[in-house]
Structure formats: structure tokens, C-alpha cells
Amino acid sequence: MTDRAFAVVRAGALTTVQDLGRPGHAHLGVPHSGVLDPRSGRLVNRLVGNAESAAVLETTLNGCAVRPRCAVTVAVGGAHCQVTVDGRPAAWGAPVRVAADSVLEAGPALRGVRAYLAFAGGIAVDPVLGSRSTDLLSGLGPAPLADGAVLPLGRPAGPPPRADGGAPWPAPPAELVLRVRLGPRADWFTDAALRTLARAAYRVSSASNRIGLRTEGPALERAVTGELPSEGMVLGAVQVPPDGRPVVFLADHPTTGGYPVVAVVDARDLPAAAQAAPGAPVRFVPVR
């Protein structure tokens, strides 16, 4: 019987299993989780003939290397990187047939932050609350990849579709522009702070992760200095901790928080936040 699985040769800085997440459990304190760049996650799945909800690998900055134990079609997309099979160049952003016991490597990100690896049949780890996603905050789902780990693969639903021309991959942002709607706690900040949020130049902090995109730049001055009781948090909430630098909550964000939320990012801009490298400029643009 064919061993439908792959072994991890090089886990990389942070590589996790992700699908489209586990919505609907915030009342239990369980974040949504899932791929930070859903556009790329869906596209690599389509390239290998999977449903868009199939589990993939999400790498961070320096890629990973895997050794399938069976012949399998793989696609690498998201952050642009060099792809090799047994050291020989292979296609990025397109289906690649990998022989059993060959090593496929997604190298360090050349543009962007997070690459996605889809395997025909998907990654068949056991689901938790309906999702195979690794949640770094709650610890649900499979552990982040480690060298030597072996993960199971599902059976392909059929051959991958024929692709004519290149896939429409979005380019990583040279400048991350985040449209925001002010509130619900904008009144906890001075008028000068709201002007600063709308006009100042921020940068992506190297302390950013799957929980939140942290920024470097001018602090936002509070008008209300008291404590805020914990309240519900949503994807894209722009929370302001005591240092005054905005933090944009991403897929593994806590479901409650006690720091005021000055604004909420338009969900359409969050995939770009997943690919914004440390040091990239950030602008917050208030909209109605």
C-alpha cells in the first residue's frame, strides 16, 4: 500500500498546517486561525486539484523542505521563493510533480513573507473543531513543523486542472495601505492621536506574528487613561497597547482584550498584511 505522507527535512523558522480556519467558536475563546493569506492558500489548492478548504503548509520567511513518501503533485505560491526538487530548479506558482523520496524545497522568501505549499489530496492531519489549522495562541491543531516530523496526505480527488498561462498572484506590498473604520474606542484617544493615525508613517515591526502585525512609529495619545474591561475582539481590530503603537489583529488573535481598539481594518486588506515584510511602510487610511 502506498505510504501517502511526507517527512519534514527542514522545518524552517515557523511552518504550520493551515486551512480556511475554524470560525464560529469565539464564544468558547477559540480564534478563527487559518491561512493569513487566503488568496494564496486558495490558489495553490486549485493548482493541484484540491478543494479550496484543503490544508496546506504556511511557511514564514525562510521556507521549508519536505520529502514525500509517494509521488505527489505540489504547488508553491504566496511569497516568491526559489523552488527546487532534489536541488534542481522547479516552477513556482505552478503544479510540480514530485517523485517519491525526492526532496522539494521552498527557499527563503525573495518577496513577501509567507509561502504556501499545497499537496494533491491535502494534508490529512486530524481536524480539531472542524479545522486542521495550527493555532499558535490556543495551541489547537497540529504542532508547528519540526525536522523529522511525518504528516499524512489525503487522496487526490482527481488530476489537477490544466492551467493556461501564469496564475494571477498578487504582488507583496511595497507599502501596506490599510483602510480602517474608526471605533469602537476611538473616543479613548485624543483628536491629535486620530490625526496621527491617519497621517503618520508606520513600519512593520519584526515582532509581528500570526497573532498580530505590530507597528513601529509615533505613539497614539490616550484621552482616557483608565482601564477598559475585556471585550470581544475581531479580525483586523487595531488595538493600542500601553506603548501607543497600533497592533493589527490577525488570524490567531485573542477573542477578548482589554486595550482599546481605535479602528478596524477592512478585511480586503488583511491578505496583504500577511505578506508585508518587517520594515515595510504602513499607512492607515480612515474610510466611512
Note the pLDDT tens digit of each residue in 63-89. 999 999 999 999 999 999 999 999 999
H or E element: which one contains 68?
strand 64-68
Radius of gyration of the chain (CA): 20
* Polymer length of the chain: 288
Classify domain 176-286 at the CATH topology level. Cyclophilin (2.40.100)
Number of separate helices (H) and strands (E) present in the chain: 3, 18
Q: Which pLDDT score is estimated for 22?
A: 95
Q: Is the pLDDT of residue 165 over 60?
A: no
Say which residues have a Cβ less than 8 Å from residue 1's Cβ, sequence separation at least 6. none
Point out which residues pair with 177 in neighbouring strands.
Answer: 283
Residue limits of CATH 2.40.100.10 in the chain = 176-286
Task: Return the residue matching grid coordinates 496546506.
Answer: 56
- The shares of helix, strand and coil residues in the chain, as percent rounded to the nearest 5, are 10, 35, 55
H or E element: which one contains 223?
none
Q: Which pLDDT score is estimated for 168?
A: 73
